[in-house]
Chains A and B, each alone.
Chain A
Amino acid sequence: MSHTQRKLSFILEKEKEMKIERLRRAWFRFKKSKLALTGFLLFSTLLVMAIFAEFVTPYPKHAETYVDFKARFRPPDLNHLFGTDHLGRDIFTRVVFGFRLAFLMIGIVISIVLPVGTVLGLLAGYYKGKWLDYSIMRAADMFVSIPPLVLALSICAILEPNIVNAMIAVTLMWWPWYTRMVYSMTSALRDEPYVWAARALGVRDINIMFREILPNILGPILTKATLDAAWVILIGATISFLGLGAQPPTPDLGTMISEYMVYFPQYWWMIIGPTLGIAILIMSFNLLGDGLRDVFAGE
């Protein structure tokens, strides 16, 4: 390699190093907050448990159709951490499988809403004042004007009540909030001098949106996604609770609560399981979201 080529490779190497260094610093900032770290650990633990539910739980079969009348209504003991339910199934196992469903729902909903909502928001904000802006934002307004739960429930009632439709309902109800947030941030940034400088250079609109504006608004988007995840879980659980989401015997946390509710206060331990599960799940997302917010704020 010639001398110049060596120098240039060295520069590229240095660039990689710098990027790694920046990530390290971000991680450090994240670690600084004990709460965020707790949230992250909690989140990872729950996620791992959910993914490997079959291997982590004592009675994986209880998550499906299973009945054992002899084992009904057992209070919490060493064999059954949360006790057993009215069909003799281990509640702890079902809660962990419920986590799996919850994560699945969050995963699918976020992976649709985040890109779609963000892109729509970017387009609407960048082409502010043009017909694209109006059509997108008025559509968003339409969805936002209906109370989220009512919207979700109506969709589930119209379509068949099952998990997939519950997810569709939550997606439809959720995307406008993203779009609005991205829209307001984008329209604030679209007239910044560096955006005009990019236009003066001849950068195409799409690239301006994704390479100039998006990196500057990514922080709040991701933070919001994490904090919203908690809401998704709650709404999903509510839908299931009302019987319009996952149907028994699917181990969904909301369904479980509605099923076990009737046995309270006699078999009081039953309802604690799924409730605690939801609470811990939501808390982990909230703490994680707080941590992310601190990371981005630190920049």
Chain B
Amino acid sequence: MSDLVFDANRLLTVKNLYVKYKSYWYIYHVLNDISINVGLGEKIGIIGESGAGKTTLLKSILQVLPINGKITSGEIFYRDVNLLKCSKQILLEIRRKRVGMIFQDPLAALNPVFTIKDHLLEVLRYANETANIDKSDLINIALDLLRDTLIPDPERILNSYPFQLSGGMRQRIVIAMALASARELLLADEPTTNLDVTIQAQILKLIGELVEKRGLSMILISHALGLIRKMTERVYVMYGGNIIEEAPTFKLFNEPLHPYTQLLFKTAPKILEPLSSVELRGNPLDYRNLPNGCVFHPRCPYGDSEVCRKVKPHQVKVEKDRTVYCHIYGS
């Protein structure tokens, strides 16, 4: 396993994270032994189907899990600060000034009774707490932010309420807010899903440029494989709350190793090939009752062997920068 010596180039380290959601009747094992790391200026992608725990992972990093979500074990280090044990002050500082998050549902992320100006000013004020900036300057910064995200007529938008704006606008505002507080790390959870494809292209270009310009690290979650290919350097594949494969982006897209990843690429609707009739057999996962052994084995085309059914796969370092969690590649 990775050493605990703090690498000066490491921004975020998640180690053996377990997260559970508790309802009165059941316990949902959403994250099981997740370990990821993000280097300075590195752009990471996380892919997996809905419910695989991707959003939960991001929320755990910022400690914004819902009430019934609990981190039951594991560690999260931001640089050398243990986020699970640090003081509230430090956590707040990290949230306000170092890390920005783009949430999946912009309507839910914006408070309907506040104007966009209120939202942006609040974020900017926290982000620039120490520097004593005038309110009028803050408004200018806000206007610049809006212009950066290609929002037309920023003055009017600034004084509007969320319900007056279209979905695409709202998403751009959420992106603007995240960029305001992201000095080191940007967490993006499906940032462009509800946007039109042309706006999506523009926004992605914008995010890409800003990330480059500021040297930000980024964790991008998307189920759109094309997005991941375009925007990330390294990818983690998640299934059933586990990381099942990790590789540099181009290597993953060229040659996916894990059977799930292979199926994912095969079944995704593509331009060049007709739809594959290969289907993921079996049923979606029940997180209350995860399978024994390899979490993917009931649906895996090669998953009928005894070892798959009984033993959870260990990390297999296939190459220097690639790991797979699958018995096919050794244990």
Binding site for B on A (CB under 8 A): 25, 28-29, 32
Contact = CB atoms under 8 A, between A and B. Distances in A.
B25 to A, nearest CB: 8
Closest 4 CB pairs of A and B: A32-B24, A29-B24, A25-B25, A28-B24
Contacts of B25: 25
Contacts of A32: 24
A32 B24 CA distance: 9
Nearest to B25: A25
Contacts of B24: 28-29, 32
B24 to A, nearest CB: 7
Contacts of A28: 24
Interface string B5-27: 00000000000000000001100
Nearest to A32: B24
A28 B23 CA distance: 13
A74 to B, nearest CB: 51
Nearest to A29: B24
A31 to B, nearest CB: 11
Nearest to B24: A32
Contacts of A25: 25
A277 to B, nearest CB: 36
Contacts of A29: 24
B241 to A, nearest CB: 25
A28 B25 CA distance: 10
A29 B25 CA distance: 10
Interface in B1-56: 24-25
B67 to A, nearest CB: 14
B330 to A, nearest CB: 45
A32 B23 CA distance: 13
A263 B313 CA distance: 84
A36 to B, nearest CB: 14
A297 to B, nearest CB: 13
B232 to A, nearest CB: 35
A242 B127 CA distance: 63
Nearest to A25: B25
A61 B252 CA distance: 89
A25 B25 CA distance: 9
B27 to A, nearest CB: 17
A116 to B, nearest CB: 35
A32 B25 CA distance: 12
A213 B26 CA distance: 30
A113 to B, nearest CB: 33
4 contacts: A25-B25, A28-B24, A29-B24, A32-B24
B38 to A, nearest CB: 38
Interface string B163-176: 00000000000000
A25 B24 CA distance: 10
A261 to B, nearest CB: 47
Nearest to B23: A298
Interface string B243-281: 000000000000000000000000000000000000000
B158 to A, nearest CB: 30
Interface string B188-214: 000000000000000000000000000
A225 to B, nearest CB: 26
B145 to A, nearest CB: 35
A80 to B, nearest CB: 46
B162 to A, nearest CB: 19
A209 to B, nearest CB: 28
A158 to B, nearest CB: 46
Nearest to A28: B24
A29 B24 CA distance: 9
A42 B308 CA distance: 57
B49 to A, nearest CB: 24
A112 to B, nearest CB: 37
B26 to A, nearest CB: 12
A31 B159 CA distance: 48
Interface string B284-305: 0000000000000000000000
A28 B24 CA distance: 10
B43 to A, nearest CB: 38
